[in-house]
Homo-oligomer: A and B are copies of this chain.
């Protein structure tokens, strides 16, 4: 299934070939042929076409018409969706930096005082049997 937009977008980004295509597009519009060249020996056009379909459904690119060419360009909206989603987890990565910070302070403190820390055994946690 995986029909929801966020899943489509994340899944699209999970492929390195597709991310390479996006990186290329930061430098400007490109045709299918242009996009296929950079891939060692050149990836086949049908393969690129498929990737572009995935990227388009993911809202990460949009496509134009220019005679027989169908140039692709980045579509900001898709990226914003991802940015907004991950933003809701910000405090978790900031927290871990806080903890790292605290740990580093602990280290230097330990160096000063040579303190031996007692290892306290936790018991009876929330995971204990409930009946």
Show the binding face of A for B, using Cβ within 8 Å: 2, 4, 6-8, 10-16, 19, 22, 26, 29, 31, 66-67, 69, 71, 74-77, 79-80, 82-83, 86-87, 89-90, 92-97, 125-127
Contacts and interface: CB of A to CB of B under 8 A. Distances in A.
B16 A4 contact: yes
Copies of this protein in the assembly total 2
A7 B2 contact: no
B2 A15 contact: yes
A75 B83 CA distance: 18
A9 to B, nearest CB: 8
Residue among A2, A13, A66 facing the most chain B CB atoms (10 A cut-off)? A13
Contacts of A127: 31, 66-67, 69, 71
